[in-house]
Amino acid sequence: MAGRGLGQLFARKSVEQMHAENESGELKKSLGAVNLVLLGIGCIIGTGIFVLTGRAAAEFAGPGIMISFVITGTLCALVAICYSELAAAIPVSGSAYSYSYASLGEFVAWIMGVLLLLEYGVAASTVAVGWSGYTTSLLHDLGINLPHALTQAPGVLVATSGIDVTAIDPQVALAGTTGILSDGTQVVFDKAAQAVLSGQFPIEIKDYSVVADRLLEVGANNTATLIEGVKATLHTVTEGAATTQQQVDVAANTAITFVANSKVSLPAEAIAALAPGQTVGSIVNLPALIGILAVTALLTLGVSESANVNNIVVAIKVTVVVAFIVIGFFYVNPANWSPLIPDQVPAPPPGSDMSVGGQIWTALGNVITGQSRESAYGVGGLIAAASTIFFAYIGFEAVSTAGAEAKNPARDMPIGIIGSLVVCTILYILTCAVLVGIVPYYELNDPAPIAKAVNQIGLPWFAFLVKVGAFAGLSSVMLVLLYGQTRIFYTMARDGLLPSVFAKINPKTQTPVLNTIVVGVIAAGFAGFTGLDFLGDTTNVGTLVAFMLICVTVVYLRFARPNMNRPFKMPTWAITIIAVVGAAMCFMLVMSLMSSEQTRNFFIPYLVVGILFYFGYGMWNSKLAKGVTVTGHEANPDLEAKGLTDVEPPFKK
């Protein structure tokens, strides 16, 4: 008996015990290699292509979004290799939670379970919000108009009809913008700076679209007048490439001009004021809430039935994506790809090292110091975009949660994980190339960027098909994510760390029905009452930290259990380098996301509450601490036949 105390925090399950629990479990083994690849594709292709690609290109990377996908795809390939080794060696339903239990101990395994709730449960809510946007638009095209106040998170402004107005000499925010004073001095304005911008700026917003702050592109031909005196940062060159910074006072009514490609922000409230009666504050995102509940109902029917539906849906959305790439290729304007990496906004201080190496070093420094999201574009923008679109790659890891239901996990799990990742990375990069080639990147901050691109080239019939594909695609993503979350809770409950209700299997469907319903209701609440940006960043943080722990786990097991049977294996030196580089890349993206105050204010308290729950419940109900072996039908596996005789005796009751 392990007992309770500090030693329990590091108590580990043996790999043999996990094999025994897997063999004696009650989940139905019905998934083959093709099912697992399609399961991964079903999760990966979704919000990344249909929703987040446009936002990441418009706000952070520009045409360089293609490079951002290469960065994130490389990271995920490294982690995928680690996952493949663990999933083949330990084919159980707990995924990263089970792997941590076998290597780093019960407490780290619990932390992993807490992180995976963000990676799967909250991620499903994130996808549901994107799904809601396409669904609402699709229904609108069919003549079915939902109440506008029921289509977004509470408090979000929604256009109740098409808005087509012109902002004349609007009041704008200059935060982070480089302005040129009358004497030629360049200064960077702080967050409080407001000015009246001279000129006329057309604003067009479609029915049901979110009315958000609008970035206006300005340059040397635009002028503005400060409304109130503000502080600004003056950059002064000293010796060599070194610079000094000092604060200067800029008086009210000062006239300013701008450097090329500058951007100022027109507040959403100002846009609403230009279109009285054409906006409404939303109350709840009802389509997102209903979508989660519908997928939950499907999952309660059984894994085979859900997998069959998923296969059909994956075929539909992959067809739509490939068709967009092929048809859109003929409408690409190569000029939209230039510059591939737009100049950083606000511009770096005079004298900064602008070589590729210098920009990379500066960008990494900004990540570590929490300043990575204080600027857009440039090399730093590529990293910020990579941390945003990382959400789109979560699906490959979801395959590992199906280990207990795979027919031949040793062969099929690596195929499912790596195969789905490779296919989707290629599709992502090609889709981005076509997307930013059709629509200028700064116009892509749209909840349905691919539909917008197809509309722009004059193919409304195909735009309708894209929405159908997005509807189907995002539906399959929700299904896979909720599936993964319920299997993780199932495993944790069998270990006694969660209430036993999460481990109860319905004898007819052989699925954890009550578990699925509880998870679905919680995810539906997040989907109906929180926004896309917050959910996406929160999911990414939890997932990246979990991936870091996976990289540590695979290295630990290589040295602690060198003779363990590993059906999928690389040389130890190779997997060590892969894991270290993967963990380092995960850390950099985590730091980029944590530079957001909103993300920090949620993630840190969330983690603290999770730890308190472990000490209040899990620690006292752990079956490992009680010396109880978790079994279903009291199986007695032949460990010698499995090549597992090199280790300590099986865990005893």
> 10 Å Cβ neighbour count for 408?
14
| Of the candidate ranges 7-11, 294-298, 530-534, 557-561, the one whose mean pLDDT is the lowest | 7-11
Instruction: Find the length of the chain.
Output: 653
pLDDT digits (tens, 9 = 90+) for 577-601: 999 999 998 898 888 888 888 888 9
pLDDT at 207: 85
What domains does the chain contain, in order, with CATH numbers?
6-145+286-342+377-626 (1.20.1740.10), 157-281 (no CATH)
CA atoms of 537 and 600, how far apart (whole Å) = 10
Tokens 């939670």 sit on residue: 97
* Nearest residue to 395 via CA among 488, 513, 313, 474: 474
Q: In which band, very low, low, confident or very high, does the pLDDT at 92 lie, cut at 50, 70 and 90?
A: low
The pLDDT assigned to 166 comes to 93
pLDDT for the residue numbered 414? 75
pLDDT value at residue 349: 64
Q: Per residue in 104-113, pLDDT tens?
A: 788 988 998 8
pLDDT class for 607, splitting at 50, 70, 90?
A: very high
Range of lowest pLDDT (235-239, 333-337, 346-350, 413-417): 235-239
Residue 258: strand, helix, or coil: strand
* pLDDT for 583: 92
Q: What is the pTM of this model?
A: 0.80
> Hey, is 250 helix, strand or coil?
strand
Using a 10 angstrom Cβ sphere, with 0-12 exposed, 13-18 middle and 19 or more buried, the burial of residue 369 is exposed
What backbone phi and psi angles, to 5 degrees, belong to 225?
Answer: -125, 125
Cβ(628)–Cβ(120) under 8 Å?
Answer: no
Query: For the chain, percent helix, then strand, then coil, each to nearest 5?
Result: 60, 10, 30
Rounded CA separation 329/313 (Å): 24
Which amino acid type is present at position 448?
Answer: A
pLDDT digits (tens, 9 = 90+) for 378-389: 888 888 888 888
Task: Kindly tell me if the per-residue pLDDT of 343 is higher than 80.
Answer: no
Q: What is the mean pLDDT of residues 229-245?
A: 62
In the structure, what pLDDT confidence band is assigned to residue 198 with cuts at 50, 70 and 90?
very high
How does residue 644 score in pLDDT terms, banded at 50, 70 and 90?
A: very low
Please compute the mean of the pLDDT values over residues 434-452 and round it to a whole number.
81
**Angle of CA points 200, 202, 204, to nearest 5°:** 165
Instruction: Tell me phi and psi for residue 205, to 5 degrees.
Output: -130, 130
> Which DSSP string do the residues of 510-533 spell out, in sequence order?
-S-HHHHHHHHHHHHHHHHHS-HH
Could you tell me the maximum CA-CA distance found in the chain, to the nearest angstrom? 84
The per-residue pLDDT of the chain, averaged, comes to 80
Convert the pLDDT of each residue in 45-67 to its tens digit: 776 777 778 878 888 888 989 99
Q: Say what the pLDDT of residue 7 is.
A: 53
Per-residue confidence (pLDDT) for residue 425, from 0 to 100: 84
Q: Token pair of 68, please? A: 């951002």
**What integer pLDDT is reported at residue 145 of this predicted model?**
94
Long-range contacts of 632-640, Cβ-Cβ distance < 8 Å, separation of 24 or more: 632/21, 632/24, 632/25, 632/26, 633/24, 633/26, 634/24, 635/20, 635/23, 635/24, 636/20, 637/16, 637/19, 637/20, 637/23, 637/24, 639/16, 639/19
Predicted pLDDT at 527: 94
Decide if pLDDT at 239 tops 60. Answer: no
Residue predicted with more confidence, 399 or 456: 456
pLDDT band at 19 (very low <50, low <70, confident <90, very high): low
pLDDT at 632: 42
Rounded percentage of the chain residues whose pLDDT exceeds 70: 81
Q: What is the pLDDT of residue 171?
A: 94
- Asked whether 42 and 313 are in contact (CB, 8 A), the reply is yes
pLDDT in tens, 420-439: 888 888 888 899 999 999 98
Is residue 147 pLDDT above 90, yes or no? yes
What's the pLDDT at 611? 94
Q: What angle do CA 342, 50, 80 make, to 5 degrees?
A: 85
Q: Which residues pair with 248 in a beta bridge?
A: 232
- Residues 6 or more apart whose CB falls under 8 angstroms from that of 403 comprise 22, 87, 90, 91, 92, 93, 95, 409, 413
What mean pLDDT comes out for the span 358-382? Answer: 73
Average pLDDT in the 505-533 region? 89
**Residue 633 pLDDT > 60:** no
> What is the per-residue DSSP string for 377-439?
SHHHHHHHHHHHHGGGGTHHHHGGGGGGGBSSHHHHHHHHHHHHHHHHHHHHHHHHHHHHHHS
**pLDDT value of position 641:** 29
Estimate to the nearest angstrom the gap between the alpha carbon of 286 and the chain centroid: 22
Give the pLDDT of residue 424: 85
**Tens-digit pLDDT profile for residues 261-305:** 777 889 989 999 999 999 999 999 999 999 999 999 988 886 555
Does 208 have pLDDT greater than 90? no
- What's the burial of 531, exposed, middle or buried (CB within 10 Å: 0-12/13-18/19+)? middle
3-class DSSP state of 495: coil
